[in-house]
Structure 1
Amino acid sequence: MDGVLPSYLTLVLLVQCYVLCLVINEPILNITFDQSALLALKACISHKPHNPLTTNWSTSTSICNWIGVTCGSKHRRVIVLNLSYMGLSGTIPPHIGNLSFLVSLSVANNSFHGSVPSELSRLYRLEEMDFHFNSFNGEIPASLGLLSRLRVLILRGNSFTGTIPVSLCNISSLGQIYLGFNFLTGFIPSSIFNISSLQIVSLQKNELSGPMPTIFFDMPSLRIINLSKNKLAGGLPRDMFHHLSKLEQFEVSHNQLYGKIPPTLFKCKQLYFLGLWGNNFKGRLPPEIGNLTVLTNLYLGYNNFEGAIPSEFGNLRNLVEFAMDNNNFTGLIPYEIFNISSLQYISMPENKLSGQLPSNIGLFLPNLQVLYIGGNQLSGTIPSSISNASQLIGLDIVSNSFWGLIPNAIGNLRLLRILYLGYNNLTAELASLFSSLSNCQYLTQINLSANLLNGILPSSVGNLSASLQRFRLSQCGIRGSIPPNISNLSNLFLLSLHRNALAGPIPNTMERLQKLQLLDLQSNKLEGPMLSNLCRLKSLYYLSLNSNKLSGRIPPCISNLTSLRHLYLAFNQLSSVVPLSFWSLTNIEQVDLSLNFLSGSLSIDIGEMKALNILDLSINQLAGEIPTTIGGLIDLDSLSLAGNRLEGSIPESFGKMVSLKYLDLSNNELNGEIPKSLENLSYLKFLNVSFNKLRGKIPTGGPFVNFSAASFMSNDALCGTPLLQVPPCKEGPRPKQVAIVHILRYVLPTIGLLILGVSVVIFLTKCKKIKNAKSSSEVELPPLATWRRVSHQELLQATEGFSVSNLIGEGSFGSVYKGTLSDGTNVAIKVLNLQVEGAFSRFDAECEVLRNIRHRNLVTIISACSNMDFKAFVLEYMPNGNLGMWLYSDSCFLNMLQRLNIMIDVAAALEYLHFGSTMAIVHCDLKPNNVLLDEDMVAHVADFGIAKLLVEGDSLTQTMTLATIGYMAPEYGSEGIVSSRGDVYSYGILLIETFTRKQPTDSMFDGEMSLKNWIVESLPTSVIEVCDANLLRNESDYTATEECLSSILELALGCCADLPEERINMKNAFVRLNKVMPFLRLLTYDMEREKGSGEQEASQEAETTPKCGTTNDEETKGKRAENARRGKHGGNAKRSVGRRKPEDRVLKASEGHFRNGVLDVKHLLRPTPSTVNDSGSHRVTKGKTKGGGKKNGAVKYLLCDIMNMET
């Protein structure tokens, strides 16, 4: 028995030791699993020198001591793995799923990539998973829905794709989910809002679509919803906020949501952040918005909200940031807003707010940092109290109607960085203003453009902040020279002083502005050579010196500007050849050197400028042939070489410029055929090859089906379809025709002899009859094959015996009657008053003239009737009367586009009379009543036919005054000297009258004041006041309209200069008006689109368009109504050179063409270099008359009005 007991005890001890060993070895075994998983992770991480795991994660130490690893105190298992912000790169291995005790896993802000392993779903104890800001991709594993204890899921800032797994909605413990900044698509699962424990839903910056999820149950824990920057559509569910009583942040900006804000939103009393920016919400803001008393951030910009801002905004006493940009808010800004002392940011630009700023605006806003209220209808002065807002960083009141002095107290805002006061009616004492602004040492941007500053730019501008980067002082009437010390602003990268009156040279010191990227000095009076110092501005991207008086050559060093992309040197006095180095600017995109005196030829290196999309070298003196290498410009969008002396053929390589939309080669000496390769230019919308020496068949394929006769006029050897007003092409004889020719070769001589004999007999017989009938009432007109014979008897019948009821006008030279010929043709019949001295000779002269002229904008002569006591012309009848009737009728209206179209037509007619016919013709009596309008509102110049023959040796004087008072040139009225320059003067007066609706003989013009002087005094600041108010009644963009009107009136003044030699010629006036037409059409098109004009509105316009013509023809009225509905100039949009449809948008608008989004057309209407001789007459080339003499037998006529009618 004694032996058994020790044995039993021994056994018990052995069992206890075994059990103890098992208990001790289990943690060791499990911790080995954890170590293996972590070592697998280490193996998937790139071994970089800065990798902290490389040496720290070693098997020689316990994993519980490894960096980023936390073990539980009870089991010594890994419960937290935090590798965030360690700069690690690699993938996550599936072995991590073996860390079965893991509660928190974070690898945030590293560079992990690849997919998330589905084995992570085995971490059933996991509560927090943070993978944000890595590069994970692929879909979010649906197996993550098995993590039943998960409270926080953060996957934002990766590259996940696919949809949000619905399985995530099964995690009942989920409180926070962050999936933003990925590429997730599809709908937001509605069941996600069934998780009662949910506190935060952040899904912003994905591509989620569909409607806003509906919330059916109370969500007492939900505090934050951020769904911004997706593609969600539809409205906000009406009862959505009824279940969100604890909502603190609601952010749905930058979606496609629409409709009104549900009233229940304003019951969320704990809401402190509301973001609705960038949707299509509409309606008024209700007063209940004042209930959100804890609101700190409110963003309502870029929606369609309307109405007044409720005064209850003043209840938002905690508001810090408030933005409602680009809506339709109207009325006053509630003064209560300016009493919220917590406000730091106020942004309300681009609305329709009116009224004035409170005089104490700065007294109760001690924390205000930003005040942006530009683009409204605010007025009044800038309160000096704004200087009390000492924390102000940005002040933007641009594009309002503020007036008065800019307070120097603004200089007390020492922290100011942005100062935008442009496009108001502000004035300033510039020297003191810039001295005060020198105190603002943090200023980076200044915009004072388009104000009434009207002073000299002081040297104190050089004392402005050295931090200044953008300085805009355009359109302010600034005079004097550019101060040399402007170069002290060494950090400038944008300097815009355009459209001022700055004179003198560009200062040499400009070369110090080494950071300058944009330099805009266009439309000033700068003179002198274009400095080579500008070549040292190596960062220059945009250079515009258009419309100055710069002379000399383009410096060869311009090739040093390798960053240059936009170069505008048009309308200066630059001469000499374009330097060869210029063509090495291979990265330049837009070049405009037009309206200079550049000579030489185009370099073959032009084809290396591969980036070019706009090239304008028009109206220079370039000669030689167009190099074939130009075809290498495959990205070129617009090319104009018009108005030079280029010769040779159009290169076939033009067909390679497949992006070309605008091509103008007019007014050169080009010959040969139009290349058929141009048919390949499928994007070509505008083509002008007129006034050259081209020959052969006009291509018919591709874009040529859309071109009109205006594209090819004055090329005498072209042939093609009759629609292009060219003769048909002669085809080679067919085999049958050849046989017939051979047969007739032997028959024709016999037939010819027979015909000749018969003709002689008939001729002798007729001569005898004519001799015996000299008193006959009908005489032969000078032969003109196209005239129809009309007898005196037929004219009597057509006018009912020249009845007074058919009289439509009369003047000192006769009367005009409306009549209907026997074939039903409506005509106008001009019957001469033969009692007027010289009527017979004038009739004969007109017949001579009419043999040689024909133009679409001159009234067509159908026939003439003449005997000893009766002389008349039968003219094309114009059913829409004359321009004067439309301008001064209370029931008729011409919009700006129609008026410009009419004046372009008149310019085309005068250009033809002066340059286009075989003889130079002067009209002498241009006025509104001599501009007739056909059924399509196309203008035709009338009373152009009664000419005085100026034989060699006659002087250019006229003893009988034929012109109309107010329209005649000064030298004509005082000395009787006439020339084509007199017509230009009359055209300028007519152009002014057309857009001001003021006659030159108006009672307001007496003494020293005349119509012309009235315009001179009104430009450029009071254009709207002098122009016809009817032009502004439907215009939404007053700034663009004002610019167009200002530019047109400036052109008119260039036409009616007092001295003949200072006037431009009609060729240049015609080119410049045509050049602006596409932009005006684009402006009109954009205005109509902004107004939402549709078919209904267009039809209403057709119905209300006044019909001021005298015709009763219903078909004609229908055409005019249809043309009005289409918004065209009589539906004849393709008949004039340079006119294009607005929707084509063939010219890419460079920064030089626009000012803050507003079209700048002034530089398109620049005068071209003068082409007059000392006597004031035209230098006519290409076989035309030079001065007042003859050339190649051509005879110069003085074209005067014999009827002087008020038709």
Structure 2
Amino acid sequence: MTTMLLLLCFLLVHISGIACNFATDKEALLSFKSKVIDPQNTLSTWTTDSHHCEWYGVKCSNIGRRVKSLNLRGLSLSGKLPSQLSKLTYLHSLDLSANSFHGQIPPDISYLSLLNILFLSSNNLSGSIPPQLGQLKRLHSLDLSVNNLTGEIPSTLCNLSSLKYLAIARNHLSGEIPTQIGNLGNLSQLQLSENDLSGQLPSSLFHISQLTYLSVTCNNLSGKLPASLGFSLPNIKNLSLATNRFEGPIPHSISNSSQLEYLDLSNNFFHGNLPFFNNFENLVYLTLGNNSLSSTTSLNSQFFDSLTNSTKLQVLILYHNNLAGELPSSIQNLSTKLYWFCVADNFLTGKIPQGWKEFQHLEFLSFESNHFSGELPSEIGSLSNLVELSIDDNVLSGEIPDIFGNLTSLSTISMAYNQFTGRIHQSIGQCKSLNFLYIGMNKLGGTIPKEIFDLPGLTLDLSSNNLGGIIPESLEKLQDLNTLNLSFNHLEGQVPMKGVFMNLSQVDLRANDMLCSIDMEIARKLGILLCHVGKKKRHILLPIILAVIGATILLISMLSLLWIVIFKRRRSRESNVNSTSALVGDGRFLTNESSEYSTQSYSIEVDNHSVHHWRRKAEECVDAVIRVGLSCTAQQPKDRCTMRDTSIKLQAIRKSMFAL
């Protein structure tokens, strides 16, 4: 009987405890609601007359109906985190991420001793990380990333032996990574990127063999990587050490980390030869850019050969190193899934290798700032998914192949600072997504294809070439042409007055001696000639002045010469007549002198014929000069004679004149 009474008392106490905790959970939730701002009114179901286990974001246990999980992620909630949360003592999972909570993290959260998951990321939380969080012995996932947390990483977090996931990235944490980090033997993911951490990576970190994800990018960490890196982290899949101050060679042992999928060592001070990656069958992303790694033609061949087994490779970035020598033809054996290939800003030489037609997923192709020579491979024209093509600042030559008709996804074409010749292909106009076209500083000639000017939102730089012709009037229709640089060419005609030309800061037309504007201020600011506008026709001042002056000078010269010749002939005739009269008066020479007079009369007739011939030729010269002048005053710029042709024609007329 006594036993039965004791059991009954125990049940009554247990039931009353459950009822008490039940009521405490509900009160804690209602208190939480009263202290936060809920702009979307998501917590409207949280009322006193409803069961709290049915409220939005709340999950309860089957026994006792205790609050086991609270998930209010991404609801735009704001305010400070209420300390009343610590009364939810049965809580296993708390997710308040992606809201706008501010203030400090309440240290009382450490009372939630059953907590497995604590997600407070993507808020505006500030202050330091409470060291009391190290008391949550059952915690296996902690995410405090994307906040404004400051101070050092508390060493007490290294007591969380059950922790598998630790993310405190994108805060303002400083100091060194705790040396006790190696105590987290079950840790598989560690995300510390985008803070202000300094010092070296603790050696104990490389004792966590379970690590699959390690990211410390964008900090001030320094030192060398351990030679045993690949043996210490055999299961690593993502290793991101970019944008720090690491130095020394990349350990050869890294080839032992054969599970690697993502390797980013860019923006550091690594030096030595390019490492080889023979065993990386799962490698997807490899970037070693902006270091001081070196190579030769032979090492380039070995490096690219080592990647032929990486059949999943999508990104290969080697920009801004000290790579030298030629690229091997084995590049064509890389993964056909490649969509980003960049070897920019190195010292590579020789020709750009062939074989690009194999990479139909390629979107970014960059060879700029090297010493590549020869012609651009026409196979690039088969890359229909290409978004960016950058080959500027090399020594490439020959004509640009007509490859653009199939490259309709291109947004950037950068070919400046080379030695390309020939014409610009009108097929560029088919690149409807084009935003940037840089082909300046080459030796291109011909006219600018009008199809280019049909591309909206374009930044266009064709400066420092040998381009000629007129600027199409249709360019006035383009209101959203970002920048236009056609300087240092041989363009001619009148500059349009609307569209992009309304904003002179976007336009550079300097050093085109045949361009003009009807607006004096625009002409002054653009550094071009001033056009003269008549009632019916538009005239370019310089050609007219040259033609009129040339015709006037030539006409005056001819009239002067004609007058001199006629005057001399008259004097010669009068002299001959006087001589003849004198000789006739003296009978001794009458016969001989009569004969001479007859000869002189014939000579005068011949000379008169020559004068008539000379006069006709002179009139033809005047005619020709006038025709040149008229051709310079045509209404349409395309019909006007160029400065060069005008000069050539006037020179020819001048030579014809002096030949007479």
Match of 2:74 among 205, 226, 229: 205
Select between 335-344 and 463-472 the one with higher mean Cα deviation.
335-344
Counterpart CA distance in 1 for 2:378 and 2:100 is: 54
Give the structure 1 partner of residue 458 of structure 2: 589
Closer/same/farther in 2, CA of residues 211 and 217 from structure 1, 3 Å limit: closer
Task: Check if 1:535 corresponds to 2:395.
Answer: no
Counterpart CA distance in 2 for 1:233 and 1:526 is: 56
Counterpart CA distance in 2 for 1:418 and 1:234 is: 38
Counterpart CA distance in 2 for 1:476 and 1:554 is: 28
Task: Check if 1:230 corresponds to 2:99.
Answer: yes
Are the counterparts in 2 of residues 648 and 672 from structure 1 also a CA contact under 8 Å? no
**1:117-266 alignment to 2 at 5 Å?**
162-165=40-43, 168=46, 170=48, 174-175=52-53, 178-179=56-57, 197-215=66-84, 218-237=87-106, 239-266=107-134
Give the structure 2 partner of residue 573 of structure 1: 443
What is the CA distance between 1:569 and its match in structure 2? Answer: 0.8
Closer/same/farther in 2, CA of residues 264 and 416 from structure 1, 3 Å limit: same
Counterpart CA distance in 1 for 2:351 and 2:159 is: 58
Give the structure 2 partner of residue 644 of structure 1: 512
Closer/same/farther in 2, CA of residues 650 and 205 from structure 1, 3 Å limit: farther
Match of 2:338 among 468, 485, 493: 468
Counterpart CA distance in 1 for 2:97 and 2:518 is: 56
Give the structure 2 partner of residue 331 of structure 1: 199
Give the structure 2 partner of residue 414 of structure 1: 281
Task: Check if 1:618 corresponds to 2:496.
Answer: no
**1:885-1034 alignment to 2 at 5 Å?**
none
Deviations 1:163-190 (A, max 9, x none): 344661637853475559xxxxxxxxxx
Give the structure 1 partner of residue 421 of structure 2: 551
Question: What is the SS of the residue equivalent to 1:573?
Answer: coil
Closer/same/farther in 2, CA of residues 209 and 641 from structure 1, 3 Å limit: farther
Amino acid at match of 1:613: N
Counterpart CA distance in 2 for 1:282 and 1:268 is: 21
Deviations 1:768-823 (A, max 9, x none): xxxxxxxxxxxxxxxxxxxxxxxxxxxxxxxxxxxxxxxxxxxxxxxxxxxxxxxx
What is the CA distance between 1:329 and its match in structure 2? Answer: 0.6
Are the counterparts in 2 of residues 177 and 200 from structure 1 also a CA contact under 8 Å? no
Give the structure 1 partner of residue 357 of structure 2: 487
Amino acid at match of 2:278: G
TM-score normalised by the chain length of structure 1: 0.39
What is the CA distance between 1:222 and its match in structure 2? Answer: 1.3
Question: What is the SS of the residue equivalent to 1:492?
Answer: coil
Task: Check if 1:384 corresponds to 2:252.
Answer: yes
Deviations 1:935-992 (A, max 9, x none): xxxxxxxxxxxxxxxxxxxxxxxxxxxxxxxxxxxxxxxxxxxxxxxxxxxxxxxxxx
Question: What is the SS of the residue equivalent to 2:254?
Answer: helix
Percent of aligned positions with the same letter in both sequences? 32
Closer/same/farther in 2, CA of residues 542 and 217 from structure 1, 3 Å limit: closer
**1:1018-1097 alignment to 2 at 5 Å?**
none
Match of 1:316 among 184, 195, 205: 184
What is the CA distance between 1:614 and its match in structure 2? Answer: 2.1
Task: Check if 1:598 corresponds to 2:467.
Answer: yes
Question: What is the SS of the residue equivalent to 1:618?
Answer: coil
Are the counterparts in 1 of residues 69 and 93 from structure 2 also a CA contact under 8 Å? yes
Counterpart CA distance in 2 for 1:345 and 1:637 is: 49
Closer/same/farther in 2, CA of residues 443 and 318 from structure 1, 3 Å limit: same
Deviations 1:906-934 (A, max 9, x none): xxxxxxxxxxxxxxxxxxxxxxxxxxxxx
Are the counterparts in 2 of residues 570 and 593 from structure 1 also a CA contact under 8 Å? yes
Amino acid at match of 2:41: T
Match of 1:669 among 529, 539, 543: 529
Deviations 1:227-260 (A, max 9, x none): 11112222222x3324322222111111111110
Question: What is the SS of the residue equivalent to 1:622?
Answer: strand
Give the structure 1 partner of residue 623 of structure 2: none
What is the CA distance between 1:643 and its match in structure 2? Answer: 2.9
Closer/same/farther in 2, CA of residues 223 and 376 from structure 1, 3 Å limit: same
Counterpart CA distance in 2 for 1:198 and 1:637 is: 64
Task: Check if 1:292 corresponds to 2:160.
Answer: yes
What is the CA distance between 1:457 and its match in structure 2? Answer: 1.3
Deviations 1:667-716 (A, max 9, x none): 3224689xxxxxxxxxxxxxxxxxx99xxxxxxxxxxxxxxxxxxxxxxx
Are the counterparts in 1 of residues 173 and 195 from structure 2 also a CA contact under 8 Å? yes
Counterpart CA distance in 1 for 2:524 and 2:233 is: 59
Are the counterparts in 1 of residues 139 and 160 from structure 2 also a CA contact under 8 Å? yes
Counterpart CA distance in 2 for 1:234 and 1:664 is: 59
What is the CA distance between 1:462 and its match in structure 2? Answer: 1.0
Structure with greater proportional helix content: 2
What is the CA distance between 1:349 and its match in structure 2? Answer: 0.5
What is the CA distance between 1:455 and its match in structure 2? Answer: 1.1
Question: What is the SS of the residue equivalent to 2:126?
Answer: strand
Question: What is the SS of the residue equivalent to 1:475?
Answer: coil
Are the counterparts in 2 of residues 618 and 644 from structure 1 also a CA contact under 8 Å? yes
Match of 2:478 among 609, 623, 626: 609
Amino acid at match of 2:350: G
Task: Check if 1:524 corresponds to 2:391.
Answer: no
Deviations 1:725-760 (A, max 9, x none): xxxxxxxxxxxxxxxxxxxxxxxxxxxxxxxxxxxx
Question: What is the SS of the residue equivalent to 1:439?
Answer: coil
Question: What is the SS of the residue equivalent to 2:87?
Answer: coil
What is the CA distance between 1:382 and its match in structure 2? Answer: 1.0
Give the structure 2 partner of residue 424 of structure 1: 291
Amino acid at match of 1:407: P
Are the counterparts in 2 of residues 529 and 551 from structure 1 also a CA contact under 8 Å? yes
Question: What is the SS of the residue equivalent to 1:567?
Answer: strand
Structure 1 unmatched runs, 5+: 1-144, 152-159, 181-194, 655-662, 674-691, 694-1207
Amino acid at match of 1:162: Q
Counterpart CA distance in 2 for 1:653 and 1:604 is: 20
Amino acid at match of 2:367: L
What is the CA distance between 1:648 and its match in structure 2? Answer: 3.9
Question: What is the SS of the residue equivalent to 1:495?
Answer: strand
CA RMSD of aligned residues (A): 3.0
Are the counterparts in 2 of residues 309 and 329 from structure 1 also a CA contact under 8 Å? yes
TM-score normalised by the chain length of structure 2: 0.70
Are the counterparts in 1 of residues 42 and 75 from structure 2 also a CA contact under 8 Å? no
Task: Check if 1:515 corresponds to 2:375.
Answer: no
What is the CA distance between 1:637 and its match in structure 2? Answer: 7.5
Question: What is the SS of the residue equivalent to 1:363?
Answer: helix
Closer/same/farther in 2, CA of residues 358 and 578 from structure 1, 3 Å limit: same
Amino acid at match of 2:114: K
Are the counterparts in 1 of residues 86 and 109 from structure 2 also a CA contact under 8 Å? no
Counterpart CA distance in 1 for 2:423 and 2:342 is: 28
Counterpart CA distance in 2 for 1:297 and 1:652 is: 69
Give the structure 2 partner of residue 833 of structure 1: none
Amino acid at match of 1:425: S
How many pairs does the alignment contain?
494
The structure whose Rg is larger is 2
Task: Check if 1:393 corresponds to 2:261.
Answer: yes
Are the counterparts in 2 of residues 487 and 509 from structure 1 also a CA contact under 8 Å? yes
Counterpart CA distance in 2 for 1:256 and 1:216 is: 18
Are the counterparts in 1 of residues 360 and 384 from structure 2 also a CA contact under 8 Å? yes
**1:671-710 alignment to 2 at 5 Å?**
none
Give the structure 2 partner of residue 1115 of structure 1: none
Question: What is the SS of the residue equivalent to 1:266?
Answer: helix
What is the CA distance between 1:500 and its match in structure 2? Answer: 0.4
**1:718-737 alignment to 2 at 5 Å?**
none
